[in-house]
């Protein structure tokens, strides 16, 4: 300090020069405050950090993870198959149907008395004597995978269509968006029903895909592929219309970048948040549609269960065995709720502008 | 304005035409005609029958004939009951319209009121309760809610008879149909109300000394209702498809039950007629809500 002031030239009284005597050097502590504590975060990390601060979103992630773990673990642990009618020591038991949760049939009780261990029926059994817990978990698996695959289908078609329309612009855009307008105004559920009626009659039942999924599922996927991508396409197009006027797009074009290359490397990464959010919100809507159709008896092929078809078949015994409805119904609500909240959380974290 | 409306009408007509086209040709893709059923007919009789019903003509001609008859209100004859489809449709439509109309009105009134309450008590207890309920109800498929209502009120509490479609028990179906749209309208109204309460003209009105109720009803709510009006079209579509499920759960003999029955019976002319009928209603309602939107909100310069 003294050194500094000594070396200073004599101060002109009229000078506006700051007097160093009035300052004191920063302590080590204060210097440390100026250090950069974190490496700069990427867009994705920043979004994830915000997402993890949202308790509802975290809770829904946990719910989804628990459900997925259940789907993976339960078939390994529980010794019953989802389409297997329970037998005790190889013989059929008439009292095994419609058991309440944790109840055992007469023969099972006899077997337990004889010292055998029998895995409990956590959710009871259904009207044919199949373990209901395994069926509900299998139903959740079917419903979730329908939601997931349908959303991926929507994602692919919607992004490709929307980006071409938005990037090309002009007459191409006009025609493509008119087509979207028309598809948007078609009543989707009616067309799904119509298609599943028709496909039921016309599809080749020996086709391996049809055999595995059942005609109704094929109809659901066809309709998702045909109709549901329009809102995704609209959103992506809107984003691209904004993005494509940026200078870096012009620069890429000036350097001779092809349309496909520019869309893939410059435009899509910039509208990725819209795409993620819309996909996340598409999953519950697909699960909704599937459970609705299954409930009307137009969903998955028996004996494959889905949450909707389980709820539907529980209707017959509603008065005596209400839990057969309650378990799948609660699970549907839980899954849809979790995905809805997760979608909302993703939207808040990645693109607050989108909030309506 | 006129240009916008004409454009919308043309688009709606085109959609209806495409729906008819899809319905007709997909239904005709099903193998087997109406006379390939129970009894084997002699070729001569079959040919005569096909000529009588124009089935020997090319598919496009049949389509035009079908369209022409449909415009005259003639949908043909049901394979199952042998009755005129148009009369069945009409009687069923009356039932469904009553149910759907009530659900629509209930949803709008309750939704707007709850939305206003949530907006005015933002982040306080009423708002939190409403947000919780709307989140829950937008995640609940109508069939889940309807069967729960049936389980609780008809079976456990026995307040309503289970298999009765009389006037009194229309209460439960209306509630289960209206639940989702109510939740959605509540959300819409809340965000729109919050948005319009933050506008400058609200501050101006308050500064001029307009009473709180006057500000809310005259200035804020009026502008907040615009998104609700646009939602009426999709809402009606939701109620119509929802009634497919709800009418079956509560055994109400409306269009929804008719549709599901005709699918189970493989009554193809009936399926075709019901699909087209429902689709036309949906497209028409969307059209009306688009036009209403443009009238209510003059800012929409209708350039589309």
Residues of B in contact with A180 (CB under 8 A): none
Average pLDDT over residues B130-141: 89
| DSSP one-letter string for chain B | -HHHHHHHHHHHHHHHHHHHHHHHHHHHTSSS-TTSSSSPPPHHHHHHHHHHTTTTS-HHHHHHHHHHHHHTT---B-TTT-SBHHHHHHHHHHHHHHHHHHHHHHHHHHHHHHHHHHHHTTTSHHHHHHHHHHHHHHTS-HHHHHHHHIIIIIIIS--S-SS--SSGGGHHHHHHHHHHHHHHHHHHHHHHHHHHHTSHHHHHHHHTT--HHHIIIIIIIHHHHHHHHHHHHHHHHHHHHHHHHHHHHTT--SHHHHHHHHHHTT-HHHHHHHHHHHHHHHHHHHHHHHHHHHHH-TT-----
For the stretch A23-78, pLDDT in tens is 888 888 888 777 776 777 777 788 888 888 888 899 999 999 999 999 998 888 88
Q: What Rg, from alpha-carbon coordinates, does chain A have?
A: 31
Confidence check on the interface: ipTM exceeds 0.85, yes or no: no
Binning pLDDT at 50, 70 and 90, where does residue A338 land?
A: very high
Q: How far is A324 from chain B (nearest CA, A)?
A: 12
pLDDT at residue A11 in the model: 62
Residues of A in contact with B255 (CB under 8 A): none
* Share of residues in chain A with pLDDT > 90 (%): 8
pLDDT at residue B84 in the model: 82
Would an 8 Å CB–CB cutoff place B141 in contact with chain A?
yes
Would an 8 Å CB–CB cutoff place B229 in contact with chain A?
no
Would an 8 Å CB–CB cutoff place A174 in contact with chain B?
no
Picking from A56, A178, A199, A295 by the largest number of B CB atoms within 10 A of its own CB, the best residue to mutate is A295
Picking from B147, B231, B234, B240 by the largest number of A CB atoms within 10 A of its own CB, the best residue to mutate is B147
For the stretch B171-219, pLDDT in tens is 888 888 899 999 999 999 998 898 888 888 888 988 998 888 888 888 8
Residues of B in contact with A197 (CB under 8 A): 30, 263, 266, 271
Check A325 against B151: CB less than 8 A apart: yes
Would an 8 Å CB–CB cutoff place B135 in contact with chain A?
yes
Considering chain B, what is the average pLDDT of its residues?
82
- How many contacts, defined by CB atoms under 8 Å, are there between A and B? 110
Comparing C-alpha atoms, which of A234, A150, A255, A171 is closest to residue A265?
Answer: A255
Comparing C-alpha atoms, which of A145, A176, A163, A152 is closest to residue A71?
Answer: A145
**C-alpha dihedral (B70, B72, B76, B77), degrees to nearest 10:** 140
pLDDT at residue B299 in the model: 67
Q: From B191, which residue of chain A is nearest by alpha-carbon distance?
A: A356
Q: What angle do CA A92, A78, A303 make, to 5 degrees?
A: 60
Check A308 against B18: CB less than 8 A apart: no
Q: B133-166: b or e for each residue (b if 16 or more CB lie within 10 Å)?
A: bbbebbbbbbbbbbbbbbbebbeeeeebeeeebe
Across A224-228, B85-89, B100-104, least confident range: A224-228
User: In chain A, what are the domains?
Assistant: 86-129 (no CATH), 133-354 (1.10.3720.10)
| Matching residue, tokens 């137009």 | A298
Residues of A in contact with B282 (CB under 8 A): 187, 190
Interface of B with A in 177-206 (CB under 8 A): 191
**pLDDT over 70 at B144, yes or no:** yes
Hey, is A263 helix, strand or coil? helix
Interface of B with A in 273-292 (CB under 8 A): 275, 278-279, 282-283, 286
pLDDT at residue B110 in the model: 94
**pLDDT over 70 at B39, yes or no:** no
pLDDT at residue B108 in the model: 92
Residues of B in contact with A340 (CB under 8 A): 135, 138-139
Would an 8 Å CB–CB cutoff place B230 in contact with chain A?
no
- Ranges of each domain in chain B: 2-71, 89-296
pLDDT at residue B40 in the model: 65
Average pLDDT over residues B271-294: 83
pLDDT at residue A61 in the model: 93
Would an 8 Å CB–CB cutoff place A59 in contact with chain B?
no
Note the pTM of the prediction, 2 decimals.
0.79
Which one of B136, B191, B275 has the shortest CB-CB distance to A190? B275
**pLDDT over 70 at A16, yes or no:** yes
pLDDT at residue B115 in the model: 92
Would an 8 Å CB–CB cutoff place B231 in contact with chain A?
no
**pLDDT over 90 at B221, yes or no:** no
Check A336 against B140: CB less than 8 A apart: yes
Would an 8 Å CB–CB cutoff place B54 in contact with chain A?
no
Check A187 against B19: CB less than 8 A apart: yes
Check A198 against B31: CB less than 8 A apart: no
CATH 1.10.3720.10: does it fit domain B89-296?
Answer: yes
B73 or A340: which carries more pLDDT confidence? A340
Considering chain A, what is the average pLDDT of its residues?
81
Picking from A187, A227, A291, A293 by the largest number of B CB atoms within 10 A of its own CB, the best residue to mutate is A187
For the stretch A90-144, pLDDT in tens is 667 677 777 777 777 777 777 777 777 777 777 877 777 788 888 888 889 988 9
pLDDT at residue A356 in the model: 44
Average pLDDT over residues A6-31: 74
pLDDT at residue A126 in the model: 77
For the stretch A182-241, pLDDT in tens is 887 777 777 877 887 777 777 776 777 777 777 777 877 887 788 888 888 988 888 888
Task: Determine which helix (DSSP H) or strand (DSSP E) holds A88, and give its type and residue range.
Answer: strand A87-88
Picking from B29, B31, B141 by the largest number of A CB atoms within 10 A of its own CB, the best residue to mutate is B141
């Amino acid at each position: 300090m003294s050194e500094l002031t000594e070396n200073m030239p004599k101060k002109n009284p009229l000078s506006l020069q700051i007097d160093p005597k009035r300052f004191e050097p920063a302590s080590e502590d204060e210097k440390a405050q100026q250090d950069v504590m974190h490496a700069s975060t990427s867009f994705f990390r920043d979004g994830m950090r915000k997402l993890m601060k949202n308790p509802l979103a975290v809770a829904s992630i946990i719910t989804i993870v628990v459900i997925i773990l259940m789907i993976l673990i339960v078939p390994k642990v529980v010794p019953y198959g989802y389409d297997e009618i329970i037998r005790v020591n190889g013989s059929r038991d008439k009292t095994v149907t419609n058991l309440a949760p944790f109840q055992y049939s007469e023969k099972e009780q006899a077997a337990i008395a004889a010292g055998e261990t029998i895995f409990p029926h956590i959710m009871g059994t259904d009207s044919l004597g199949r373990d209901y817990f395994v069926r509900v978990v299998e139903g959740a698996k079917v419903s979730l995978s329908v939601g997931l695959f349908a959303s991926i289908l929507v994602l692919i078609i919607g992004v490709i269509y929307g980006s071409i329309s938005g990037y090309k612009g002009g007459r191409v855009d006009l025609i493509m968006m008119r087509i979207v307008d028309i598809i948007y105004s078609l009543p989707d559920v009616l067309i799904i029903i119509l298609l599943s009626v028709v496909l039921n009659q016309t599809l080749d039942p020996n086709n391996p895909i049809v055999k595995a999924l059942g005609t109704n599922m094929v109809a659901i996927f066809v309709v998702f592929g045909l109709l549901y991508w329009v809102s995704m396409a609209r959103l992506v197009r809107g984003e691209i219309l904004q993005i494509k006027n940026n200078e870096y797009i012009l620069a890429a074009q000036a350097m001779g970048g092809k349309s496909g290359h520019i869309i893939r490397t410059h435009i899509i990464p910039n509208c990725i948040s819209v795409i993620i959010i819309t996909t996340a919100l598409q999953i519950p809507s697909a699960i909704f549609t599937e459970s609705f159709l299954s409930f009307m008896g137009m969903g998955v092929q028996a004996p494959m269960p889905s949450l909707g078809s389980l709820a539907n078949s529980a209707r017959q015994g509603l008065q005596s065995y209400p839990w057969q409805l309650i378990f799948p119904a609660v699970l549907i609500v839980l899954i849809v709720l979790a995905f809805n909240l997760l979608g909302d959380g993703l939207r808040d974290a990645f693109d607050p502008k989108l909030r309506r | 304005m006129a240009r916008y409306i004409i454009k919308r009408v043309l688009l709606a007509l085109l959609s209806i035409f495409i729906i008819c086209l899809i319905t007709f040709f997909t239904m005709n893709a099903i193998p087997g005609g109406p006379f390939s059923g129970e009894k084997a007919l002699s070729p001569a009789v079959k040919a005569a029958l096909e000529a009588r019903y124009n089935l020997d003509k090319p598919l496009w001609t049949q389509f035009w004939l079908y369209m022409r008859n449909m415009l005259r209100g003639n949908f043909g004859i049901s394979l199952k009951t042998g009755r005129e489809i148009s009369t069945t449709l009409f009687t069923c439509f009356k039932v469904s319209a009553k149910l759907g109309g009530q659900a629509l009105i209930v949803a709008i009134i309750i939704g707007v009121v709850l939305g206003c309450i949530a907006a005015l008590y933002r982040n306080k207890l009423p708002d939190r309760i409403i947000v919780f309920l709307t989140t829950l109800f937008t995640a609940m498929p109508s069939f889940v809610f309807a069967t729960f209502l049936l389980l609780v009120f008809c079976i456990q509490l026995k307040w309503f008879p289970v298999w009765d479609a009389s006037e009194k028990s229309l209460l439960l179906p209306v509630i289960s149909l209206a639940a989702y749209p109510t939740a959605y309208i509540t959300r819409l109204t809340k965000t729109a109300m919050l948005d319009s309460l933050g506008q400058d003209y609200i501050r101006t009105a308050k500064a001029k000394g307009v009473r709180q109720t006057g500000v809310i009803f005259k200035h804020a709510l009026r502008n907040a209702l615009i998104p609700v009006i646009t939602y009426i079209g999709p809402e009606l579509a939701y109620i119509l498809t929802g009634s497919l499920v709800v009418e079956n759960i509560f055994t109400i003999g409306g269009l929804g039950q008719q549709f599901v029955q005709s699918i189970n019976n493989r009554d193809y002319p009936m399926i075709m007629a019901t699909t087209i009928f429902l689709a036309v209603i949906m497209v028409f309602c969307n059209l009306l809500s688009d036009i209403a939107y443009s009238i209510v909100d003059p800012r929409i310069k209708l350039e589309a």
